[in-house]
Structure 1
Amino acid sequence: MKLQRKGGEGSMYPQYLFEYPNVETDFPFYMKKKKYTSVPSHRHDFIEFSFVLEGKGKERINGTEHDLQPGTIVLLLPYQIHEYEAAPGETLLMYICNFDMKLLTSGLESAWGVNELLFGSNNSRSAHIRLEDHDFEEGLQLWERLYREYESSKAWKPIMLRALLLETLTQFVRGGDKPDGTRIEDQRPKTAKNIWPIVQYVHDHYLEPLTLTSLSKQFQMHPAQISTQFGSEFGIHFVDFLHELRIRHTCSLLISSEMPILQVAFESGFSSYPTFSRAFHRMKGMSPRDYREQQGRER
């Protein structure tokens, strides 16, 4: 994964993860099985879904701490600040999935409960649950199937991965709905629920002309309020958030087509080539032309 620190030297915001393996593919899903003793405070613009296999420790999400132990499942939404650390003498063994939010919002499932899970409702939902006894064994088998499928090269692999991912999410939701479950209050700031429909809208319409003013009219919120919430809750300016989505699309076009770079800029939602060029260099550390040549050599 690549790291980027927003806000310059001494910024109040933690490290920002903005890429992971497979992020620029048709199926932006990545999974690993790894041991940890500690992971410093960070945030990212993709979903992280994890399952603890062994070990004990603590995780802090937006400043609120909870236990990590075998059977703990955490669903971390984009831009939430989190860190975790194993207990003294312990090592955390975890399955961790990283994937783009649109994997869950592009199908009919979004109307069947996924939308509520991601963007909130009047009922708070925990960011984590813990499976015990028989539920833990079922969860372990499910996550192992997901990992084996991810590591395989079988036909229709993305279809099976998405099906298994939805099954693990279903288990997460049902585990949190149990009367004796280990639920806590929603880890997101209460004001964040106002911003999530906007986040989803921008994810769906980032190739179109978007401004704080147009979003203000769409969602009946003052532009200054939208700007303030992006900064205080996600640690990122709205325009940077928008540019990062567009540059990700740009990279896909540069890799998969021979489209002239000027056309790529406009196809990615930018109305100004200088703005596009500056945004691309800030994110990738090179020009679009150099990026295309580098990716061509690597491929």
Structure 2
Amino acid sequence: MASFPRYLYEYPNMDSSFPFYMKEQQPSRITLHRHDFLELSLVTEGTGTELINGTPHVLKPGTLAFLLPHQLHELVSNPADPLRMYVCNFDMSLLAGEHEADWGGQAFLSAQSTANRPYVEASPADLERLRGIFATLFEEYNNRNPWRNWLIKAKLIEALTLLERIREGNAERESAVSTTAAQDNLHASIWPILQYVHQNYREPLSLSGLAEHFHFHPSHLSESIKQHLGQTFTAFLQELRIRHACGLLASTDLPVTSVALEVGFGSYQTFCRLFRKLKRAAPADYRKMMHKQRSASVTDAQPD
């Protein structure tokens, strides 16, 4: 019988003034799931395989992953070489609150939504630095030292900065995030809206409704979104829904009609038409293709 992947919407401290949770774990297997909060993880020992939105990759010491809300993922540890990893769960507000635009938190999250893959492989030198960062995070999280939350947030930002530097390289990254004051103001005003869409795209959303909710004129909001994303609000919303649908098709056996409803489409015909337009394949054909690729890739991705 078809079943939805687990949907996790709670974690310790989520309703506190500092919504951050951290653990060190040795998982043997974590079944397919998704959540509406952010997750940062670092593998420190062992090997295994993780699938994110149906695409597998090897887990090994130095694998650093940062997952946005609603990304489907699961992992399996190698019994002969068990995984040990740090996992941090936290709310978007720690990076994208109203005061975070000045240091780039909103721009950082915006960049993550277009990254080719949500993980990097750290070099031995970077891994040692990351071990120190996460060890400090874990120590501070489990104690109640003065200014604890400040240090946790500082180390969290340090880890995320290192992730981006590994991914892009210092020169490219510095060039990509250098913005004018006008662009900074745009990030500050638009990101709360994009964050809201990321968290609620499965619900009925409209440009006029968002404009009213966030006190924008509809035409101004439409132009601002297009300037920020390079695409219209409708195209942005459709891509989010289709991306989620791709993960469900690749990772579950849910009927295509259920997938369409789950990701926010009220019309099955509209879903199929847009899916074919964006992915150049019908949903059922895409599922077959991904299952075939997954079978081949899982074999190739097994640790030596």
Tell me which interval the TM-score lies in, with the shorter structure as reference length: 0.5 to 0.7
Which residue type is aligned with residue 200 of structure 1? Q
Structure 2 segments unaligned to the other structure (5+ residues): 171-190, 212-217, 224-231, 246-261, 266-304
Which structure has more RCO (C-alpha within 8 Å, separation ≥ 6)?
2
The reply to whether residue 150 of structure 1 matches residue 148 of structure 2 is: no
Is the Cα contact below 8 Å between 1:58 and 1:85 reproduced in 2? yes
The reply to whether residue 26 of structure 1 matches residue 17 of structure 2 is: yes
Measure how far apart 1:238 and its partner are. Answer: 6.0
Is the Cα contact below 8 Å between 1:119 and 1:197 reproduced in 2? no
The reply to whether residue 10 of structure 1 matches residue 2 of structure 2 is: yes
Between structures 1 and 2, the one with greater helix share:
2
Measure how far apart 1:147 and its partner are. Answer: 0.5
Which residue type is aligned with residue 175 of structure 1? I
The reply to whether residue 200 of structure 1 matches residue 186 of structure 2 is: no
What are the within-5 Å matches in structure 2 for residues 62-211 of structure 1? 62-106=53-97, 109-120=100-111, 124-178=115-169, 198-202=193-197, 211=205
**Distance (Å, rounded) in 1 between the aligned partners of 2:149 and 2:113:** 33
The reply to whether residue 57 of structure 1 matches residue 48 of structure 2 is: yes
Which residue type is aligned with residue 143 of structure 1? F
Which residue type is aligned with residue 104 of structure 1? L
What's the Cα RMSD here? 3.3
SS of match in other structure, 1:79 = coil
User: Identity rate of aligned residues, in percent?
Assistant: 37
- Give per-residue Cα distances to partners, 1:58-86, cap 9 Å, x unaligned: 11111121111011100011111111111
Choose which of 206, 210, 223 in structure 2 pairs with 1:212: 206
Distance 1:143 1:222, change over 3 A: closer
Measure how far apart 1:233 and its partner are. Answer: 3.6
Is the Cα contact below 8 Å between 2:96 and 2:192 reproduced in 1? no
Is the Cα contact below 8 Å between 1:230 and 1:238 reproduced in 2? no
How many positions carry a matched residue from both structures? 210
- Give per-residue Cα distances to partners, 1:118-173, cap 9 Å, x unaligned: 12389745411122222211111111011100001112211111111111111111
- Give per-residue Cα distances to partners, 1:179-227, cap 9 Å, x unaligned: 9xxxxxxxxxxxxxxxx875414589x9xxx95252384347576x676
Structure 1 segments unaligned to the other structure (5+ residues): 1-8, 180-195, 240-299
**Distance (Å, rounded) in 2 between the aligned partners of 1:54 and 1:126:** 22
